Amino acid sequence: MVVEEVSDEELMARLGGGEMSALEQLARRHEDKILSLAYRVLGRWDLAEDVAQETFLRVYTAAKRYKARGKFTSWLYRIVLNLCVDSQRKSRRGALRLEEVGVQIAEKHRDDPCEKDELSRAVKAAVDALPRRQRLAVVLHRYGGFGHRDISEITGWSESAVESLLVRAYANLRDKLGEMKDFLE
């Protein structure tokens, strides 16, 4: 028996109609991708979790007013990205406090099993070192799997701006990782 998967837009319509299980389904469907994306932007799992949770609460709040004008995922990831930016702003404001607990944060990063590998850490460092807009573009493109047009919809930047950011970002990454390559080998 083939079970037809309900579309995101249909789930939003159901949520708007008061069916709360639709929110849970949306959360299960998009949880991993949102967490990965938020983690890659923010560099901390605790902040990524907050962003993911807040994203679904915003989805719930907006369900009644939601109108499927563009892709649901573009709308969803716009929320994610805005929350990431807010989170970064808050982190900058609390920089002094974070410095005080810097040791714990460093420990937490060391414990991440996915980043034990030297090459993985080198790539993360290279991506983190990019200017903010280039980093966001690369995270959405390389790791989020979004095309130029989707990135343009998510970020609100023009398509030509996205293309230009990606070209510069990949050129920078090629230079940075080229320097590291000799060291890693």
Partner 1 sequence: MGCIGDTELIAYISGGLTQSARDAVQKHISECEGCGRRVEEMAELWDVLGEWGVEAGGHEVADRIEAVSATLERPTERKWRDYVFREGVLPASIRIASSIIIAVGVGNRLGEWSIKKAQAAEEAPEYLSSLRLEWSSGVTQSALADTNIEGDKEK
DSSP string, 30-46: HHHHHHHHHHHHHS-HH
One-letter amino acid at 95 equals A
> Shortest Cβ distance from residue 27 to partner 1 (Å)?
4
CB of 156 to partner 1, least distance (A): 19
Of the two residues 29 and 78, which places its CB atom closer to partner 1 in the complex?
A: 29
- Give least dist CB 42 to partner 1, A: 12
- Evaluated on CA atoms 83, 87, 88, 90, the torsion sign reads positive
**Count of C-beta atoms within a 10 Å radius of residue 42:** 19
Residue 144 Cβ vs partner 1, minimum distance, rounded to whole Å: 11
Report the residue number, 100 or 117, with the smaller CB distance to partner 1.
Answer: 117
Q: Which residue has the tokens 């789930």?
A: 11
Collect contacts of 21-24 with beta carbons under 8 A, ≥24 apart.
23/56, 23/59, 23/60, 23/63
Q: Which is nearer to partner 1, 85 or 177 (CB)?
A: 177
CB of 77 to partner 1, least distance (A): 15
Q: Which is nearer to partner 1, 105 or 170 (CB)?
A: 170
Both tokens of residue 115?
């980043």
Q: Can you give the binding site for partner 1, defined by CB under 8 A?
A: 15-16, 18, 20-21, 23-24, 27-28, 31-36, 39-40, 45, 48-49, 52-53, 56-57, 60-61, 63-64, 113-115, 117, 119-120, 123-124, 127, 138, 141-143, 147-148, 163, 166-167, 170-171, 173-174, 177
With respect to partner 1, which residue has the nearer C-beta, 39 or 77? 39
35, 56 contact by CB (below 8 A) = no
Cβ proximity to partner 1, 100 vs 179, nearer residue: 179
Least Å distance, CB 56 to partner 1, is 5
Tokens of 109: 């990063």
Q: What's the CA gap between 88 and 77, in Å, rounded?
A: 16
